[in-house]
Copies of this chain bind each other. A is one copy, B any other.
Amino acid sequence: MASQKVLEYLDAHRQQHVDQLCDFLRIPSISSQSEHEEDCRRAAAFVAGELKELGLVVETIEAGGLPLVYAQSEIKPERKTLLFYGHYDVQPVDPLELWDHPPFEPMIKNEIVYARGACDDKGQVYTHIKALEAYIKQGIELPVNVKFIIEGEEEAGGESIYRYTEQNPEKLACDAIIVSDTALYNESTPGICYSLKGLAYMEIQLKGPDMDLHSGSYGGTVQNPGNALAEIIAKLKDENGHCLIPGFYDDVLELEPDERAGFAELGYTDEILKKETGAPEAFGEEGFTTLERMWARPTCDVNGLASGYGGEGAKTIIPSRAMAKVSMRLVPNQDPAKIAQLFEKYVLSIAPKGVEVTVIDHHGANPVLVPRKSEMMQAGMKALEEGFGAKPVFIREGGSIPIVGTFQECLKSPVLLLGYGLSTDNIHSPNEKFHLSNFWRGARTTAILMEEAAK
C-alpha cells in the first residue's frame, strides 16, 4: 500500500522537518515593511528551492510587488490535479516587548514551536511541501498532479495573486484548491471550513461648521456632527442587533436544517463566548444561536468612531467633523458592491439636517460557500479523520479570505479549507506558535488527501 510508505517517511523525518521549518521561520519576511523586501525575496527563494529539489518545474513570478512562487509536477491528463495555495510572508512583530523570545529565532518548548509565521502561514504551507516530499523521496508515483501557488503579499493586502489568478485560469486549472491557513475547530476536533463571510467596509464622514466652535457661543444654533453621526449609527440596527438597511437581508442564503443541527452538536455555549471575549453577555439577532450568528448571519459593526475632543478632562466644543468606520460581514449570497450601495443610499436618506454627509466605500470581499457534498469534500473529511485520528466536523468562519472567492470564481473548482492551526495560536499577535503535533498530523493529512482525491 503506497500511503503506508509515505506516512512512514513522514514519521521517520519528523525532527528533520521541524529543523527545516525553523530555517524557514528564521527569515523575517514581513511584507508590509519595505525594509524587509529582501527578506521576503529570500523566503520566496526558500520555497522555490525546496520545490525545485523535489523535481517540480518552478517559476518565480514578478507580478508587480513581491514574487509569486508557482510550481507544478508533471501533468498527466488521467490524474486529477490539486492546487496548493499559501503564503510565505508574515505579519509585523510589534509590540515586540510582549514576545517572550525574539520572533525570528524559533524556540521549541513542550512540542510547540514559537515564532512569527509558525502557524500563519509558513508552518501550514510546509505541511504541503513535506507531504509532497514523502512521495518523491520514497519513489512513489504521485496519485495526483500537483500545483503550488505561494504568494508573499497576503499580510499586506497585495494584488499580485488576484491579477495572476484572473489572467491565468488555465495555468491554475485544477480539481480542487487546498488552503491551509485557518484553524481546527478545537484541539481535539479537526474540521473543514466550508463558508467564509464576505465584507463591505464603509466610512461615514460628517462635516458641520468649518472649525470646532465654542459650545457656549454657538450651542443650540447649528447641528452638531457628533450628535448627528450618532443618529445615523443608531438607525443602522434595531436594539436587538437586526440591521435596518432596506434590502440588507434580501439575498441572504438561509441555513439548511442539517447545518443548524451540525452547529448545535458542536456545543459552543455563551459561557465559552464570555470566557473568550470578556463581554458581559452574548448579544445579537433574535431567532439564531450564537454560533449561527457568528458563522452565518450578516453583521453591521462600528469599527471606529472619532469626533471632537477625546483626551482627558473637558473641552467645550462643537466639533467641526465626525467620522465612523462601519463594516458589514456578509454571508452567501450577498454581494459586497450591492450592499455598499444599499448602505450609502440608506445613510444619505437618514442624514440629519445641518450636516454634509459623505460615504466612502473602502473595500469589499465576496462571501464563500463550498458545497459540502462533493467528492473532494468527502476526500478532505476522510484525510482529516485519518490524519488526525478524530472525526472531523464541518465549520464556517466569520472572517474573510478574499483570495478564496477569486479562486472559486476564476477556477470554478471547490476550495478545501483544511486548517491545521488552533484559534489560540496567536496569529497576528505576540508569541505566535504552532503545535508540532498539528504540523506532523497536517503533513499526514495532506499526504492522505492526495490519495483520497485520486479515488
Contact = CB atoms under 8 A, between A and B. Distances in A.
Contact of A314 (B201, B216, B224, B315): B201
Interface in A298-339: 298-311, 313-319, 322-325, 327, 329
A309 B237 CA distance: 20
Contacts of A309: 303-304, 325
Determine the interface band of chain A, counting residues with CB < 8 A from chain B: 35 or more
Interface string A181-218: 00000000000000001010100000011110111111
Interface in A45-74: none
Given A278-B211, A316-B201, A352-B239, A301 B226 contact: yes
A279 B217 CA distance: 14
Interface in A278-301: 278-285, 290, 293-294, 297-301
B306 A310 contact: yes
A233 B227 contact: yes
How many copies of this chain sit in the oligomeric assembly?
A: 2
A222 B317 contact: no
Given A216-B329, A280-B208, A283-B353, A224 B302 contact: yes
Contacts of A239: 231, 352-353
A208 B400 CA distance: 23
Contacts of A412: none
A209 B294 contact: no
Given A215-B329, A234-B234, A221 B303 contact: no
Given A233-B226, A239-B352, A294-B220, A327 B215 contact: yes
